[in-house]
Amino acid sequence: MKLLVTGGLGFIGSNFILQVLKNSSDFSVTNIDAELTGSDHHNLDELKNSPNYKFVKGNITNKIMMEKLIENHDCIINFAAESFVDRSILDANQFLVSNIRGTYTILEVLRKHKKRLIQISTDEVFGSLKEGSAHETSRFNPSNPYAATKASAELLVNSYVNTYDLDCVITRCTNNYGPRQFYEKLIPKTIFLANQNKKIPIYGKGENIRDWIYVNDHCEAVLRVLLDGKKGESYNVSSDNEIDNLSIVKKILELLGKSSDLIEFVTDRPGHDLRYSLNSSKIKNSLKWNPKISFDDGIQNTIDWLINNSGGKDISENILGSTPWKKS
């Protein structure tokens, strides 16, 4: 099967490509990536000599390029997205371009070339939940520009399924962590700063809760949906592992043998959702998927990988994007 993966130099996309090509000879992958924030060629260094992997530099908003690529592949997995909430609050324009216009471009090409699309979305489309967990049919309630653009992309996908009978499936996942994650996100940021004995900024009181899933488990879910997911359906992907931010930072500090004095509470970001939660019983029951990696094992694997692959480099605040707001 010939797969076209968009955004494959990023965190989740690169892990998906590696997992697919390592575990099966039935796939070949073309990776199109615009090399924007979060993209890193080193993520796929080990595939440099692979006959089943090809890289194309380009933007998914380029319809002519996408038409040529989609025509020659069996399936498209759309990981490409601007994804950091903080940056979407400061300037939403690129999120509109990548997350909405990019998805629209792919869908327009699929009207002519009837191939399967797996659209990668997020639990953030449902907004903050005081209690319970969002099901696939729960109401969208995005709280920030990033989440709003991902919800918009989902609506576009569903409209093209209904109007043009396209073969599209949507996956929504909770917070990922693991190897190759860009340094601006909470877990890699905390690991790098703690390892360098630098202050670790935490928004508000660190009470915000996310359901954390190891990236390999998410990639396995995407593959399962690619092969067996039903046209026009959406599937929530979660690990039932809800943890608040402060607890995660404290756990990382403990594992690294660092003092909690490194923690620095900073002014919360605007519209910061308190809690995300997904019910993933649908994919577990219908596609027989279940997460395999415990948080304890996953966080230790992540620490080991990031420290061993950092090359001793100093991660500046500009890269980390620690906070654009004043300290409390």
pLDDT in tens, the chain (328 residues): 999 999 999 999 999 999 999 988 899 999 999 998 889 999 999 999 999 999 999 999 999 999 999 999 999 999 999 888 888 888 999 999 999 999 999 999 999 999 999 999 999 999 999 999 999 999 999 999 999 999 999 999 999 999 999 999 999 999 999 999 998 899 999 999 999 999 999 999 999 999 999 999 999 999 999 999 999 999 999 999 999 999 999 999 999 999 999 999 999 888 788 999 999 999 999 999 999 999 999 999 999 999 998 755 555 544 444 444 333 3
Tally Cβ neighbours within 10 Å of residue 241.
17
Residue of 124, 154, 184, 211 marked catalytic = 124
124 is catalytic: yes
170-206 as b/e: b if 16+ CB within 10 A: bbbbbbbbbbbbbbbbbbbbbbbbbbeebebbbbbeb
User: What phi and psi, each to the nearest 5 degrees, are found at residue 318?
Assistant: -65, -40
240 is catalytic: no
For tokens 């949507």, name the residue: 170
Asked if 2-176+214-237 and 179-210+241-273+294-320 have one fold, the answer is no
Residue of 33, 123, 184, 220 marked catalytic = 123
Q: Quick one: fold of 2-176+214-237?
A: Rossmann fold (3.40.50)
279 and 242 in contact (C-beta within 8 Å)? no
d(CA 5, CA 14): 9
165 is catalytic: no
For tokens 């202050």, name the residue: 199
Residue of 104, 146, 183, 214 marked catalytic = 146
Supply the CATH classification number for the domain 179-210+241-273+294-320.
3.90.25.10
Tally Cβ neighbours within 10 Å of residue 57.
12
Tally Cβ neighbours within 10 Å of residue 226.
22
Domain ranges of the chain: 2-176+214-237, 179-210+241-273+294-320
